[in-house]
Chains A and B, each alone.
Chain A
Amino acid sequence: FFSDIISTVEFNYSGDLLATGDKGGRVVIFQREQENKSRPHSRGEYNVYSTFQSHEPEFDYLKSLEIEEKINKIRWLPQQNAAHFLLSTNDKTIKLWKISERDKRAEGYNLKDEDGRLRDPFRITALRVPILKPMDLMVEASPRRIFANAHTYHINSISVNSDHETYLSADDLRINLWHLEITDRSFNIVDIKPANMEELTEVITAAEFHPHHCNVFVYSSSKGTIRLCDMRSSALCDRHSKFFEEPEDPSSRSFFSEIISSISDVKFSHSGRYMMTRDYLSVKVWDLNMENRPVETYQVHEYLRSKLCSLYENDCIFDKFECCWNGSDSAIMTGSYNNFFRMFDRNTRRDITLEASRESSKPRAILKPRKVCTGGKRKKDEISVDSLDFNKKILHTAWHPMENIIAVAATNNLYIFQDKIN
């Protein structure tokens, strides 16, 4: 079981299922163990529930473009029946997968025997009714819809609408609206491609539907701006309803300013009142009613500001970190380097740095807070900025929708941490 680099992590609406996508196009779904009196310690553990190959590598011969099988995003659909549905996407194609359980099998068919071989019709002398017998649980994943050929550029986001019927997909320059039942058509709702590509100044970096208002969505750009659009105002939402941008201090502008202001992730709060954006060095919380500046700014790793030259040389400055809210919107989490991840409590303004690594995480051990030393004397237990491992990046994290359980992807390992019980 070769484990590839994890490229996306997502809890479903109940938090009982956790899906991960990897660079090899595979999806692995974990399920939370039910409370079991005979194994009290296993309550809350996540075990593998289903594994399937979602996307395969492809080659676009016309454009001589390799299409990676890497899963960029997974989004769950709200559960409507016994089966679970999720959308998974690579750079070009979105697929709707149905994950269903089978724990019964019919036996006693008339026309075929137990091996599946057809019975000789002349040998059948009596008619019987097949009966359902229990069998070992089998979890099957099948592709129900394939939404292809709608994106010229690379898909960076998908978002299921609160109407549970439509979803959006965004690439570098365009956003499309789909109906979950219809695969041969999609509506283009945002197009920022300039007539002359020489005039291109920004690209779309992320997009998301509002959690309650099915006509509202936002998209972020590489220039650090967020646009909120209302689909009721016009069919093509090239003109935004709201434009969020923090004014820049002109005296601090440098070669790196635009690059580090590029927003790598945007997430609405569960309440729908706020949204959070992640740029290279910070996380910002915006009130949807205030466009001219964020209401809260949290520094993730400000000590990297004096390392921007080498981070540009090794491309790390282009790393796309994600961020997430906890269920009550009172805390936010995002990743950093050296397998560190950061959590911020919005009420107490306290923050903590934790590490996801084998050495520091034994089952049921409590995580120790970490600290990066930025200059002067390094205290014992602190790590200096120069010893940080920039290859160990935590780009993807997820928070259980209701409980204090978090999933952290560290390269090709998945860590699940829980709040200490009792």
Chain B
Amino acid sequence: MAATLGTGARAEESGQEKQDMQEKETVTPERAEEAKLKAKYPNLGQKPGGSDFLMKRLQKGQKYFDSGDYNMAKAKMKNKQLPSAGPDKNLVTGDHIPTPQDLPQRKSSLVTSKLAG
């Protein structure tokens, strides 16, 4: 907690300092945004755009479900659409066979893990 505040405060301070010495250098908008990000997520990876981020990009599409169940259900249904999980997608229970559409969107977990470092 203290560390978070400290980082934020330090970034603010150096920002102020820099703005005072305008003839020497100014904080670029990018650096200011970077300070904002680091203040919010202090554990953000040391290597921006490095291999962690690229590895996640290469792994897009990873899903886990029982393909056997899915195909059996599809065969039974034939031309009909498989019922989707309904409004609360997290509660996939009972007879409902998960379909690729029901699985939690990979995107949200990607954001969480990216920012949690």
Contacts and interface: CB of A to CB of B under 8 A. Distances in A.
The answer on A and B forming one complex is yes
Interface of A: 57, 59, 61, 64-68, 91, 153-154, 172-173, 197-203, 222, 251-252, 254-259, 262, 305-309, 312-313, 315
Given A254-B34, A256-B34, A259-B48, A57 B100 contact: yes
Interface stretch (B1-9, B54-62, B78-86): B54-62
A74 B68 CA distance: 33
Interface string B1-42: 000000000000000000000000100111111101110100
A61 B50 contact: no
Nearest to A256: B30
Contacts of A202: 54
17 contacts: A59-B70, A64-B62, A67-B61, A197-B55, A200-B54, A200-B55, A251-B25, A252-B31, A254-B30, A254-B31, A258-B49, A306-B33, A307-B33, A309-B33, A309-B37, A309-B40, A313-B115
B107 interface: yes
Nearest to B115: A313
Contacts of B30: 252, 254, 256-257, 305, 308
Q: Which of A91, A252, A255 has the most CB of B within 10 A?
A: A255
A386 B50 CA distance: 30
Contacts of B100: 57, 59, 66
Interface in B73-106: 100
A59 B29 contact: no
B108 to A, nearest CB: 10
Contacts of B60: 154
Contacts of B70: 59
A197 B48 contact: no
Nearest to A202: B54
B33 A197 contact: no
A64 B29 contact: no
A153 B58 contact: yes
Closest A-B pairs by Cβ, 8 of them: A258-B49, A306-B29, A308-B33, A309-B36, A254-B30, A309-B33, A254-B34, A255-B48
Contacts of A200: 51, 54-55
A67 B28 CA distance: 41
Contacts of B40: 309, 313
B10 to A, nearest CB: 16
B32 A306 contact: yes
A197 B51 contact: yes
Given A257-B30, A308-B30, A172 B57 contact: yes
Contacts of B44: 255
B43 interface: no
B37 A255 contact: yes
Given A255-B37, A309-B36, A315-B111, A91 B61 contact: yes
B45 to A, nearest CB: 9
B33 A254 contact: yes
A157 B96 CA distance: 38
B67 interface: yes
Q: Which of B32, B34, B67, B70 has the most CB of A within 10 A?
A: B34
A65 B58 contact: no
Contacts of B48: 255-259
Contacts of B25: 251
B37 A201 contact: no
B51 A198 contact: yes
Contacts of A203: 54, 57-58
